[in-house]
Amino acid sequence: MRPYVPLRACIVVAAGISLMLFVWGIIRYPTVIASSGAPLLVSLFVAGIAGYVYAALRCSRIDSSEDALVLSSGLKWGVAIGLAWAIEVAGGNVIVPHRLGATIGIFSAFAAAMLPFLAGAMGASVTGRARTGAVIGLWSGVVSGSIAFIALACAGLLAAHFPGLPGVETPHNSSKVLTAEELAAFNLEDYLAGGISHLLLIGAPYCGALGAIGGMLARR
């Protein structure tokens, strides 16, 4: 039994970058940590990152040819899915003109949402087992969730620093005019929350479920 180093390294490095971006955002915009939702935000982030690192260190081991297929496919599909989500984030929130960016974002989001199904189906077609598709989906979700968090954290920092970007939002229920610092913190917190949703919901759970469906339909 030996570890699959490329997958392990990818997840651990992505977790380190995510942590640096998260901490830097809080240091640069401390108003984020003063909000009422900050304890939950921090707790969910730590849980997500810790879970990903634990999975990478404890579960990314090759003990059979199926393990090798699952881990290598999970890494490749995860990078593809993560890059598709990153393009969606850039298209919807950073690219100007916004109409062009939004169009790019829609197509990228559709691709990112469907790729886990294809990953699971292709894996299961090789082994004839639906489980293969589910596990490939899980690993692709871990990788893509990490990449998506990094993309959203970067977009949040850009939105906080450049208030003219199309992804900048203002709270609808605010009873006062926000200062520039408060608006920056609001947007950064919103983007970080979106990144955490990728870690905990759209990453491993969604990709694993869609990979399982693809695996069940494609198994021999």
Taking the C-alpha atoms of residue 134 and residue 73, their distance in angstroms, rounded to an integer, is 12
Q: CA dist 46 to 43, 130, 188, 192, Å?
A: 5, 31, 17, 12
Tens-of-pLDDT digits for all 220 residues of the chain? 687 889 999 999 999 999 999 999 999 888 888 777 788 999 999 999 999 999 999 888 888 888 899 999 999 999 999 999 999 999 888 877 778 888 889 999 999 999 999 999 999 999 888 899 999 999 999 999 999 999 999 999 998 888 778 777 777 666 666 677 878 888 889 999 999 999 999 999 999 999 999 999 987 5
The DSSP annotation for 192-219 comes to HHHHHHIIIIIIHHHHHHHHHHHHHHH-
In which residue are the tokens 């871990």 written?
Answer: 142
The set of residues, in sequence order, having a beta carbon less than 8 Å from that of 203 and lying 6+ positions away, is 48, 141, 142, 144, 145, 146, 148
